[in-house]
């Protein structure tokens, strides 16, 4: 596969920007204690974080997150190696994508998109009405696959192997690359099934040139995370599939693109339906309302197009400064002008 021979990078902003303080529902930037106090003391005061020791606690939390991110590439590769050696999958066959896992209506839609006469309008006619502007609902997996995947994830959760967490905003869930799903499952799903759709739906957002992804599962339950704050994803196009289990509420809501202020934004609420996916532009702001009972597990695939990201990192809004990573890292690549000596350029 083309992507396996390429090297992918992070942007250096990864270790200093967009650090989420869940208690205050605030994204912050951290370079030093002085800078942090200067930039956030006032904002934090308004959130009831007033005393010196409260602010010191926040600085400690942020510094730990910075250190976690600086070590992430190495710790993630170490965890993946331990999982490969020690973890015995419950359902080994689901690690390789087969058409029998997919809803036949999904494969029909993909078939249409692969034809040379396919158009965006023709595709929209095959899909349900858009639940929010440029958000598309589609059947993806069948129920039996969703159930087996959930059983696999619960089996993994109960095992003794080390586990990472999806990102700063989601505390609970599973990183599917570390579990070994990338090569046999998500790369073919992206290349053979999703890209034919995204090239028609989001050509101006890199939908036709996706070349990497980050796939993970988020989990909400009454004793852990209930909801997810308003945010955008570090990607170009996102697929979000509801896997189950039984839950009430927890709807997604979509605003506008990240450049549009919230005050100028109309929000749309979109329900999850087990086995179905929602495709959206990754930088379309969204969040998740609290569940009111049960457990909600969703498969999230942040799909990336290096051609887009290499010119502008969506997280810092600058041309990315590349930092080595393992696997797909954050989907940036070295281009001849950025790095003339690398053989992969
Ligand atoms: O909770 C969800 O379904 C959405 C998760 C999400 O937006 C994300 O992880 O980026
Ligand atoms: Fe998201």
Query: Which atom in ligand 1 lies closest to the alpha carbon of residue 242?
Result: 3
20 assigned to some structural domain? no
- In angstroms, the CA 287 to CA 251 distance is 9
Residue 345: its pLDDT value, please? Answer: 42
Query: Which atom in ligand 1 lies closest to the alpha carbon of residue 228?
Result: 1
Q: Contact at 8 Å (CB) between 216 and 176?
A: yes
- In the predicted model, is pLDDT for residue 344 greater than 50? no
- 281 C-alpha vs ligand 2 centroid, how far in Å? 10
- ipTM more than 0.95? yes
Q: Is 218 in the pocket of ligand 1 (CB under 6 A)?
A: yes
Query: Which atom in ligand 1 lies closest to the alpha carbon of residue 240?
Result: 3
Neighbours of 11 (CB within 10 A): 25
Closest CA to 339 of 320, 325, 326: 320
Q: Is 108 helix (H, G, I), strand (E, B) or coil?
A: helix
Can you tell me which residue has the tokens 């249409």? Answer: 112
Residue 1 — pLDDT band, cuts 50, 70, 90? very low
Give CA 18 to chain center in angstroms.
14
46 assigned to some structural domain? no
- In the predicted model, is pLDDT for residue 3 greater than 80? no
- In the predicted model, is pLDDT for residue 101 greater than 70? yes
Residue 179 — pLDDT band, cuts 50, 70, 90? very high
335 assigned to some structural domain? no
- 345 C-alpha vs ligand 2 centroid, how far in Å? 31
Q: For the residues 250-274, what does the mean pLDDT come to?
A: 94
Domain count, the chain: 1
Mean pLDDT of the chain: 93
Q: Is 259 helix (H, G, I), strand (E, B) or coil?
A: coil
For 303-334, how does the pLDDT look when each residue is reduced to its tens digit (9 = 90+)?
A: 999 999 999 999 999 999 999 999 999 999 99
Query: Which atom in ligand 1 lies closest to the alpha carbon of residue 216?
Result: 9
Q: Is 334 in the pocket of ligand 1 (CB under 6 A)?
A: no
332 assigned to some structural domain? no
- In the predicted model, is pLDDT for residue 60 greater than 60? yes
- In the predicted model, is pLDDT for residue 341 greater than 80? no
Residue 165 — pLDDT band, cuts 50, 70, 90? confident
User: Which mutation among 245, 285, 291, 300 tests ligand 1's pocket best, with the greatest number of atoms within 8 A of CB?
Assistant: 300
Q: Select the more confidently predicted residue: 336 or 75.
A: 75
Q: How many residues would you count in the chain?
A: 345
Closest CA to 252 of 275, 272, 236: 272
For 104-118, how does the pLDDT look when each residue is reduced to its tens digit (9 = 90+)?
A: 999 999 999 999 999
74 assigned to some structural domain? no
Looking up residue 319, the CATH number of its domain turns out to be 2.60.120.620
- In the predicted model, is pLDDT for residue 227 greater than 50? yes
DSSP 8-state secondary structure symbol assigned to residue 320? P
Closest ligand to residue 240's CA: 1
Domain span at residue 147 reads 2-14+93-324
283 assigned to some structural domain? yes
19 assigned to some structural domain? no
61 assigned to some structural domain? no
């Amino acid at each position: 596969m083309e992507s396996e021979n390429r090297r992918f990078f992070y942007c250096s902003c990864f270790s200093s920007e967009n650090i989420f303080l869940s208690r205050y529902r605030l994204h912050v930037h951290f370079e030093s204690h002085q800078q942090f106090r200067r930039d956030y003391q006032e904002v934090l005061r308004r959130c009831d974080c007033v005393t010196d020791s409260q602010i010191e606690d926040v600085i400690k939390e942020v510094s730990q997150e910075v250190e976690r991110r600086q070590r992430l590439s190495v710790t993630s590769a170490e965890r993946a190696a331990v999982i490969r050696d020690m973890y015995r999958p419950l359902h080994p066959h689901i690690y390789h994508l087969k058409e029998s896992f997919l809803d036949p209506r999904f494969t029909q839609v993909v078939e249409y998109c692969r034809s040379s006469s396919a158009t965006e309008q023709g595709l929209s006619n095959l899909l349900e009405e858009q639940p929010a502007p440029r958000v598309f609902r589609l059947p993806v997996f069948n129920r039996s696959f969703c159930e087996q995947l959930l059983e696999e994830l619960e089996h993994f959760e109960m095992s003794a192997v080390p586990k990472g967490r999806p990102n700063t905003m989601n505390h609970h869930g599973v990183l599917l690359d570390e579990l070994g799903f990338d090569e046999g499952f998500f790369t073919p799903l992206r290349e053979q099934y999703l890209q034919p759709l995204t090239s028609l739906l989001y050509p101006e957002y890199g939908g036709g040139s996706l070349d990497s992804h980050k796939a993970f599962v988020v989990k909400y339950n009454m004793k852990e995370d209930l909801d997810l704050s308003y945010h955008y994803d570090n990607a170009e196009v996102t697929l979000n599939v509801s896997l189950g289990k039984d839950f009430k509420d927890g709807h997604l809501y979509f605003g506008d693109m990240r450049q549009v202020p919230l005050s100028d934004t109309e929000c749309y609420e979109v329900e999850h339906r087990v086995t179905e996916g929602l495709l959206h532009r990754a930088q379309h702001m969204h969040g998740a309302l609290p569940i009111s009972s049960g457990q909600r597990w969703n498969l999230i695939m942040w799909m990336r197009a290096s051609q887009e990201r290499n010119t502008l990192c969506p997280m810092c809004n600058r041309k990315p400064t590349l930092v080595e990573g393992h696997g797909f890292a954050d989907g940036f690549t070295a281009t001849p002008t950025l790095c003339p000596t690398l053989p992969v350029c």
